[in-house]
Amino acid sequence: MPFVTFEGGEGSGKSTQVRLSAERLRRLGRDVVATREPGGTRVGETLREILLNAENSGLDSVTEWLLLEADRRQHVREILRPALARGAFVLCDRYSDATEAYQQHGRGLDAVAVRLVDSIARDGLVPDLTLLYDVDAVSGLARARARDGGVSGRFEAVELAFHERVREAYLAIATREPERVRVIRSDAPREEIFERTWRILSERFSL
């Protein structure tokens, strides 16, 4: 069954689109697993708290990356592969593209090292489709901070230039892999964004 990932910078609205997509698929009678990274497993949720907590602003970039890869490995083994094996429609909020965008390009980590470790973590599991929700960094950060009551998480607190690099990296991935990655502008009302999302899902998977 399909493995679909939802990607985008802070405030892009991708998590809302995961929820709306899962709801419609379930109404169609599909077995749906909607999950996220970091998180998705008991261990992953503990790692998520560490990674997103603004109090951990001093977390080293390599430490951050390795924690994310540890989360992914557990997620693949415990949630993603078993769900796909039983025939579920899997929707995942962030996956390996996020590591390339945030850690490799945003943080400036070595590309060869990131690709090697990520390949071990995901164990050959590649999305059938990736939906990239694109919004400019200034607008996205404003949305994210408003959503959280004005309190910045660890990533929202990073300088704007970081988020601009993340956006550029995501768009470069989409250009490199146009068959897998579809870009959806997310500066419209969420209902309009969802209709675009659903149209792509329907066409790709004959829903």
**pLDDT of 195 higher than 90:** yes
Which residues have C-beta within 8 Å of that of residue 129, sequence separation ≥ 6? 2, 3, 4, 5, 180, 182, 200, 201, 204, 205
Question: What is the arithmetic mean of pLDDT over 177-201?
Answer: 96
Question: What is the arithmetic mean of pLDDT over 6-21?
Answer: 96
Contact 12, 166 (CB under 8 A): no
Domain ranges of the chain: 3-205
- What whole-number distance in Å separates Cα of residue 204 and Cα of residue 185? 19
How much of the chain exceeds pLDDT 70, in percent?
98
- What whole-number distance in Å separates Cα of residue 188 and Cα of residue 119? 35
* H helices present in the chain, as ranges: 14-27, 42-52, 61-75, 81-85, 96-98, 111-122, 137-147, 160-176, 190-205
Task: Domain 3-205: give its CATH superfamily.
Answer: P-loop containing nucleotide triphosphate hydrolases (3.40.50.300)
The pLDDT score that the predictor gives to residue 155 is: 85
The arrangement of strands across the sheet holding 3-8 comes to 32-36, 89-93, 3-8, 129-134, 181-185
pLDDT digits (tens, 9 = 90+) for 81-109: 999 999 999 999 999 999 999 999 999 99
Q: Is the model more confident about 141 or about 79?
A: 79
Q: Please state the φ and ψ torsions of residue 32, each to the nearest 5 degrees.
A: -120, 135
Reported as a pLDDT band with limits 50, 70 and 90, residue 51 is very high
